[in-house]
């Protein structure tokens, strides 16, 4: 009888909590993302032609390769396209990396607008050649169109137009563009060191990373401005299994390949990293909740109740969503014997880890190392860096970015966002407390697929909005 009363009491409590969540959801007004770019065909085509010229100048970067002359050629294109920027701003070139300084009326709140010049290699069969810069079907095509020469074009053009009107910024403005971002090279650190040498401490840095994402979560339709507020850390790891080899006709148990397979299976099928909802991710879900259908709105809008459930199911629903709540490990390279009938003396596995703030680099690597030792594997770590700091989403700089988004893109909700990839922005955290990652262009499914893939492109009609965003941001910092 006592047990029955306890069970009934628990059931009543659960029903009460569910009823509270349902009532809260019903009382929360539903919203619809109404933002679509206003057609400005003449303006859009002017910007598209400039972006096309920038794409036609191939700027593929490669690790530890001196490609300065290639980037100097790209700089000559920039000078041709944006003459006023080059006439009125101080230009600093460091090994192909660029800084431009626009002196303002005050140096109290320096603003840095940044995005990278370099692009990844373009392989495979493209609809339009990857360095053609073709303008077709309402898009600019080519490597770098969306990642991220569109942003470089947009902030250079924003400054060009403001200069043509005789505008002097209220605060100093810096334009920053490295040529080694795609392989996390030393380009951006050199630019940061130059600003540090000059005693510049930016009030706000705005890099690429997030963007205006079409349907950021399955079932939530429309365009949403996703502003990255931190980056996950990362490391490349090599795991090696050794043995004495031998002939495949008499295989021994626990071979190098088998040990690597066991390691992969355990890492893939057992939860080795903790899941936790970072405040920025919770804020993102709560921002998006009013735009969702009722079932999803119920879950996302009542995190106080459904957070434990979401932590369980999110990785099953979305790889991107799962990556926002835990450290991840991806197995990317595998090598064993060179012959079918020879047991390998050595088999090697390559993996890429992305660290979450609540379980950072040291703890995550220790977990993988213990698992490797369990399976008799040696572990080497390359290119390791910890998570970035998280920008204060309640601070004045972030709120200003949200305000400018609202003004520039009417009807487009702005939301914090977690960068599961990496950008140059992390280098600026040494001298700036407020670093956001937001490219003011629309990334639909086609654009997301094209980044680092085939047929990269950007919609022409979103380019005027990108220029307007940078102009409005410059005007707003006072």
> How far is residue 446 from each of residues 51, 422, 456, measured CA to CA in Å?
18, 21, 8
For residue 129, which of 451, 455, 449, 453 has the smallest C-alpha distance? 455
Question: How many alpha carbons fall within 13 Å on the CB side of residue 354?
Answer: 18
| φ, ψ of residue 317 in degrees (nearest 5) | -85, -30
> How far is residue 431 from each of residues 106, 172, 192, 201, measured CA to CA in Å?
18, 15, 8, 5
Q: Are 367 and 355 in contact (CB under 8 A)?
A: no
| φ, ψ of residue 101 in degrees (nearest 5) | -115, 120
Gap between the Cα atoms of 463 and 152, Å rounded: 11
For residue 416, which of 230, 148, 222 has the smallest C-alpha distance? 230
The overall average pLDDT reported for the chain is 94
Gap between the Cα atoms of 57 and 142, Å rounded: 11
Residue 5: pLDDT above 80?
no
Residue 334: pLDDT above 90?
yes
User: 348: which strand partners?
Assistant: 240, 335
Q: Give the model's confidence band at 264: pLDDT under 50 very low, under 70 low, under 90 confident, else very high.
A: very high
Average pLDDT over every residue of 364-383: 96
pLDDT digits (tens, 9 = 90+) for 432-450: 999 999 999 999 999 999 9
Residues of the chain with CATH 3.30.70.360: 233-274+327-386
Gap between the Cα atoms of 421 and 83, Å rounded: 34
For residue 156, which of 472, 470, 404 has the smallest C-alpha distance? 470
How many residues appear in the chain? 478
For residue 191, which of 62, 106, 101 has the smallest C-alpha distance? 101
Q: Give the model's confidence band at 421: pLDDT under 50 very low, under 70 low, under 90 confident, else very high.
A: confident
Gap between the Cα atoms of 11 and 7, Å rounded: 6
Gap between the Cα atoms of 321 and 313, Å rounded: 10
Q: Are 181 and 105 in contact (CB under 8 A)?
A: no
Give me the pLDDT at residue 78, please.
Answer: 98
Gap between the Cα atoms of 348 and 337, Å rounded: 10
Q: Give the model's confidence band at 317: pLDDT under 50 very low, under 70 low, under 90 confident, else very high.
A: confident
Gap between the Cα atoms of 319 and 317, Å rounded: 7
Give me the pLDDT at residue 2, please.
Answer: 80
pLDDT digits (tens, 9 = 90+) for 41-71: 999 999 999 999 999 999 999 998 888 999 9
Flag whether the pTM goes above 0.95. no
Gap between the Cα atoms of 196 and 214, Å rounded: 37
Query: Which CATH number is 233-274+327-386's, of 3.90.1010.10, 3.30.70.360, 3.30.365.10, 3.30.70.260?
Result: 3.30.70.360
Gap between the Cα atoms of 68 and 82, Å rounded: 21
Q: Where are the beta strands (DSSP E) in 307-404?
A: 328-335, 342-343, 346-355, 378-385
The token pair at 371 is 């698992």
Percent of the chain topping pLDDT 70: 100
Q: Measure the CA angle with vertex 476, ends 472 and 478; round to 5°.
A: 150
The token pair at 142 is 């080519």
Pairing verdict, β 106-114 and 204-214? parallel
pLDDT digits (tens, 9 = 90+) for 119-165: 999 999 999 999 999 999 999 999 999 999 999 999 999 999 999 99
| φ, ψ of residue 439 in degrees (nearest 5) | -100, 120
Gap between the Cα atoms of 468 and 102, Å rounded: 18
User: What CATH number has the domain spanning 41-231+388-476?
Assistant: 3.40.630.10
Gap between the Cα atoms of 355 and 364, Å rounded: 7
Give me the pLDDT at residue 34, please.
Answer: 87
| DSSP characters over 44-99 | HHHHHHHHHHHHHS--B--TT---HHHHHHHHHHHHHH-HHHHHHSEEEEETTEEE
Q: Which run of H or of E encompasses 459?
A: strand 457-459
DSSP-derived letter for residue 387 is P
Q: Which of 25-29, 77-81, 406-410 comes out lowest in average pLDDT? A: 25-29
DSSP-derived letter for residue 113 is E
Residue 82: pLDDT above 90?
yes
Sole residue written with tokens 């085939």:
454
Gap between the Cα atoms of 347 and 258, Å rounded: 10
pLDDT digits (tens, 9 = 90+) for 225-243: 999 999 999 999 999 999 9
Residues of the chain with CATH 3.40.630.10: 41-231+388-476
Torsion from C-alpha of 352, 357, 362, 365, nearest 10 degrees: -30
Q: Are 386 and 234 in contact (CB under 8 A)?
A: no
Three-state secondary-structure class, residue 174:
strand
């Amino acid at each position: 009888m006592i047990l029955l009363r306890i069970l009934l009491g628990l059931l009543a409590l659960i029903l009460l909590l569910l009823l509270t969540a349902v009532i809260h959801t019903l009382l929360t007004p539903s919203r619809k993302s109404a933002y679509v770019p206003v057609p400005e065909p003449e303006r859009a085509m002017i910007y598209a032609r400039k972006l096309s010229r920038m794409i036609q100048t191939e700027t593929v970067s490669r690790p530890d390769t001196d490609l300065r002359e290639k980037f100097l050629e790209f700089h000559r294109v920039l000078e041709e396209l944006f003459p006023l920027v080059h006439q009125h701003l101080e230009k600093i070139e460091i090994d192909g990396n660029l800084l431009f300084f626009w002196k303002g009326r005050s140096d109290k709140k320096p603003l840095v607008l940044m995005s990278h010049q370099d692009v990844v290699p373009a392989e495979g069969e493209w609809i339009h050649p990857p360095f053609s810069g073709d303008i077709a079907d309402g898009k600019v095509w080519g490597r770098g169109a969306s990642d991220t020469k569109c942003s470089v074009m947009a902030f250079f053009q924003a400054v060009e137009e403001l200069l043509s009107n005789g505008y002097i910024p209220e605060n100093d403005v810096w334009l920053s563009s490295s040529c080694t971002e795609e392989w996390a090279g030393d380009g951006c650190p050199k630019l940061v060191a130059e600003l540090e040498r000059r005693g510049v401490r930016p009030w706000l840095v705005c890099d690429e990373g997030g963007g205006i994402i079409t349907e950021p979560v399955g079932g939530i339709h429309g365009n949403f401005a996703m502003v990255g507020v931190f980056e996950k850390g990362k490391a490349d790891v090599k795991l090696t299994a050794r043995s004495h080899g031998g002939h495949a006709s008499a295989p021994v148990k626990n071979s190098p390949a088998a040990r690597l397979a066991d390691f992969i299976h355990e890492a893939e099928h057992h939860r080795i990293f903790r899941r936790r909802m970072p405040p920025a991710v919770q804020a993102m879900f709560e921002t998006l909740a009013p735009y969702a259908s009722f079932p999803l709105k119920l879950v996302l809008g009542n995190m106080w109740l459904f957070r434990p459930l979401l932590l369980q199911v999110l990785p099953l629903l979305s790889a991107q969503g799962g990556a926002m709540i835990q450290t991840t490990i991806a197995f990317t390279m595998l090598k064993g014997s060179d012959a079918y009938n020879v047991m390998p003396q050595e088999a090697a596995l390559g993996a890429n880890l992305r660290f979450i703030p609540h379980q950072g680099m040291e703890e995550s690597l220790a977990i993988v190392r213990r698992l490797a030792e369990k399976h008799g594997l040696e572990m080497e770590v390359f290119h390791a860096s910890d998570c970035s700091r998280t920008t204060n989403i309640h601070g004045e700089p972030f709120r200003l970015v949200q305000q400018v988004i609202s003004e520039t893109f009417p009807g487009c909700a702005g939301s914090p966002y977690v960068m599961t990839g990496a950008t140059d922005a992390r280098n600026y955290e040494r001298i700036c407390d407020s670093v956001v990652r937001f490219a003011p262009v629309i990334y639909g499914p086609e654009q997301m697929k094209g980044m680092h893939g085939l047929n990269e492109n950007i919609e022409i009609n979103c380019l005027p909005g990108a220029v307007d965003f940078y102009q409005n941001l410059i005007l707003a910092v006072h």
